Amino acid sequence: MTRGMIVKSIAREVLGDKGAEVWSRLELIGDIAVIKKPIKTSLTLEDFRVLGEALIRRIPGVKSVWLAVSPVTGPYKTRSYTHLAGEERTWTIYREHGCSFKVDITRVFVTPRLGYEHLRVANLVGYGEVVVNMFAGVGVFSIVIARVSKPRAVHSIDINVDAYNLMVENIKLNNVEDIVIPHLGDAAKVVEERLVGVADRVLMPLPDLALDYAPHALKALKGPRGFIHFYIHMDMDKGRGFLGRAIEIVGSRVESLGWRLFKADSRVVRKVGPGLAQVVVDAGVEENG
């Protein structure tokens, strides 16, 4: 039985038919289980606590269970939590693709749902590339890239001091001090002050700012050609027209800045709400003229 199936059967056993409201809303981050509370639910806090206790008893390795009571909000993309069961601890070691990451679920953004994307992008990075990750969090993309590919350097920026401090720890934890260079601050400012004309590839894994910060991503490129991974939110339609529209949106943004796309692919990274998807556009860009 997969872990998803185990969670489903525990939720059914403990909560009966109401278990269907939550079983797919569970994330395991290291030894912490997070249940994302549905916006509308008939389940009470007591129901969630009973489920939390059952998860501790039945899922090997789960030591602490939290209910996420808000969506990700604010510039740091964090959530609010209520403790449900087990240890009242919010930090853990999260493992992905052979790397280890110290995280604190209340202070930084982290989700295992980006695991495939981290590896996919890492596999696109060529030997000796310089990468700029403008919204790096605790450094998951940057460190997976450093461990999986052979980049010369990965400049890894975050504005949240807690994410930055954990990123510094994670760089040491994964022995990539000679490759991943942490920067604390607003990505626009850090690029303008330290990283103009250095990069072969730029990552923008923050849909709120990816299009707005495109001028700084372009400035970070060595030029006249490079790659930028734009993460944006798109309304999904029944066909896959939104994936083409995502490319058009990115294309017109870079054209407004004097660049153009010489190559572009797009894919759904994950669903982030009813009818809403996070989409990545892998954009090959070159300067006009």
Write out the residues near ligand SAM by the rule CB under 6 A: 75-77, 109-110, 114, 135-137, 140-141, 157-160, 163, 186-187, 205-206, 209
In the complex, what is the shortest distance from the CB of residue 174 to ligand SAM, in angstroms, rounded to a whole number? 14
Closest to 166 measured CA to CA, from 145, 148, 146, 142: 142
Residue 186 in tokens: 């607003």
Q: Smaller CB distance to ligand SAM: residue 52 or 207?
A: 207
Is the bond leading into 224 cis (omega within 30 degrees of zero)?
Answer: yes
In the complex, what is the shortest distance from the CB of residue 148 to ligand SAM, in angstroms, rounded to a whole number? 14
In the complex, what is the shortest distance from the CB of residue 288 to ligand SAM, in angstroms, rounded to a whole number? 27
Q: Smaller CB distance to ligand SAM: residue 10 or 103?
A: 103
In the complex, what is the shortest distance from the CB of residue 209 to ligand SAM, in angstroms, rounded to a whole number? 6
Q: Smaller CB distance to ligand SAM: residue 142 or 266?
A: 142
In the complex, what is the shortest distance from the CB of residue 18 to ligand SAM, in angstroms, rounded to a whole number? 31
Q: Smaller CB distance to ligand SAM: residue 209 or 220?
A: 209
Task: Assess contact for 149 and 125: CB atoms under 8 A.
Answer: yes
DSSP, residue by residue, the chain: --HHHHHHHHHHHHHGGGGGGTGGGEEEETTEEEEEPPSS-S--HHHHHHHHHHHHHHSTT--EEEEE-S-SBTTTTB--EEEEEE----EEEEEETTEEEEEETTTS---GGGHHHHHHHHHHPPTT-EEEESS-TTTHHHHHHHHHS--SEEEEEES-HHHHHHHHHHHHHTT-TTTEEEEES-HHHHHHHH-TT-BSEEEE--TTTTTTTHHHHHHHB-SSEEEEEEEEEEE--SSSHHHHHHHHHHHHHHHTTTEEEEEEEEEEEEEEETTEEEEEEEEEEEE--
In the complex, what is the shortest distance from the CB of residue 171 to ligand SAM, in angstroms, rounded to a whole number? 14
In the complex, what is the shortest distance from the CB of residue 201 to ligand SAM, in angstroms, rounded to a whole number? 14
In the complex, what is the shortest distance from the CB of residue 183 to ligand SAM, in angstroms, rounded to a whole number? 9
Q: Smaller CB distance to ligand SAM: residue 67 or 140?
A: 140
Residue 135 in tokens: 């919204």
Q: Smaller CB distance to ligand SAM: residue 6 or 272?
A: 272
Q: Smaller CB distance to ligand SAM: residue 22 or 191?
A: 191
Sheet (strand 64-68) strand order: 26-29, 32-36, 64-68, 81-86
Q: Smaller CB distance to ligand SAM: residue 50 or 68?
A: 68
